[in-house]
């Protein structure tokens, strides 16, 4: 899948967005004004897993480290929710929770979790970037998807490919998908943890170091967009 690009230099960088489809389309809209070709190639899909919904409904408060957990959080009813960052916070507010918003990553949330006491639950996916000091319930999985023809075409081309890496999980999957790529790879990790996950998976896949690399200054979509714009401007 790809957006309809304007006429451009065929040697200009291509942005390969590997987020799950809904999040990928949203981010593509946020970077459309950069004037670069955008290829959507989801490398994972979000699927629910069986869990005890009644236990979640009875919880006194929730810790939410991804907006993917919010659909499984039940009715907010004014209950407190500590959310990792702005996207998750917005979704939780819409569900009726009284939200405290974190800085965008699990590590930055840690001080907010001190002294919570009993009755709190952390709703998370099968794979967690960090273990939190709160009892957890797994409510969704991030299942890998094959890269698809669009990703293969740009990775096999000659134009630089800008890879936004929004999580350690997606960074690892992107590195595996890029195995054997002919195109120069310009990576934009959202955090040091995402960058480290790329490095580890890239080493396993035999990938060389990326031609360019710029980590976002904050773990949010606006900072990711700014980093991509800086890389593109330097092309």
Residue 229: pLDDT band with limits 50, 70, 90? very high
Specify whether 111 is located in the same domain as 93. Answer: yes
Please report whether residue 1 resides in a domain: no
CA gap 123, 138 in Å, rounded: 6
CA gap 45, 23 in Å, rounded: 10
Q: Which distant-in-sequence residues (6+ apart) come within 8 Å of 100 by Cβ? A: 80, 81, 82, 83, 112
- Using only C-alpha atoms, what is the Rg of the chain? 18
What pLDDT digit, counting tens, does each position of 30-52 carry?
Answer: 999 999 999 999 999 999 999 99
If you average pLDDT over residues 60-65, what whole number do you get?
A: 96
Q: Which distant-in-sequence residues (6+ apart) come within 8 Å of 190 by Cβ? A: 164, 165, 166, 167, 215, 216, 219, 220, 223, 224
Q: Is the pLDDT of residue 124 over 60?
A: yes
The boundaries of the domain holding residue 98 are 46-143
Q: Is the pLDDT of residue 113 over 90?
A: yes
| Contact call for residues 181 and 157 (beta carbons, < 8 A) | no
Specify whether 133 is located in the same domain as 158. Answer: no
What pLDDT digit, counting tens, does each position of 83-104 carry?
Answer: 999 999 999 999 999 999 999 8
Task: Flag the least confident range among 6-10, 69-73, 80-84, 141-145.
Answer: 6-10
CATH number at residue 121: 3.40.50.10090
Specify whether 115 is located in the same domain as 172. Answer: no
DSSP helix/strand/coil, 71: helix
Please report whether residue 193 resides in a domain: yes
Q: Whole-prediction pTM value? A: 0.88
At which of 102, 118, 143 does a domain end?
A: 143
Q: Which distant-in-sequence residues (6+ apart) come within 8 Å of 229 by Cβ? A: 34
Residue 230: pLDDT band with limits 50, 70, 90? very high
How many domains are contained in the chain? 2
Q: Is the pLDDT of residue 4 over 60?
A: no
If you average pLDDT over residues 214-226, what whole number do you get?
A: 95
Please report whether residue 37 resides in a domain: yes
Please report whether residue 4 resides in a domain: no
What pLDDT digit, counting tens, does each position of 151-179 carry?
Answer: 999 999 999 999 999 999 999 999 999 99
């Amino acid at each position: 899948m790809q957006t309809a690009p304007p006429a451009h230099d065929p040697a200009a960088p291509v942005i390969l967005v590997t987020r799950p489809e809904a999040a990928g389309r949203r981010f593509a809209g946020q970077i459309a004004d950069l004037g670069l070709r955008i290829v959507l190639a989801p490398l994972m899909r979000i699927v629910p897993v069986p869990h005890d919904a009644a236990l979640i409904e009875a919880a006194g408060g929730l810790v939410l480290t991804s907006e993917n957990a919010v659909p499984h959080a039940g009715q907010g009813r004014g209950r407190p929710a500590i959310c990792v960052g702005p996207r998750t916070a917005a979704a939780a507010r819409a569900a009726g929770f009284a939200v405290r918003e974190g800085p965008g990553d699990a590590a930055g949330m840690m001080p907010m979790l001190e002294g919570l006491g009993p009755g709190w639950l952390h709703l998370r996916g099968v794979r967690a970037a960090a273990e939190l000091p709160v009892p957890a319930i797994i409510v969704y999985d991030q299942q890998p998807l094959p890269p698809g023809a669009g990703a293969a075409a740009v990775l096999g081309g000659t134009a630089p490919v800008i890879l936004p890496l929004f999580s350690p999980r997606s960074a690892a999957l992107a590195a595996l998908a890029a195995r054997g790529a002919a195109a120069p790879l310009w990576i934009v990790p959202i955090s040091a943890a995402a960058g480290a996950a790329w490095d580890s998976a890239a080493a396993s896949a035999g990938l060389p170091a990326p031609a360019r690399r710029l980590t976002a200054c904050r773990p949010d979509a606006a900072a990711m967009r700014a980093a991509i714009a800086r890389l593109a401007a330097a092309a």
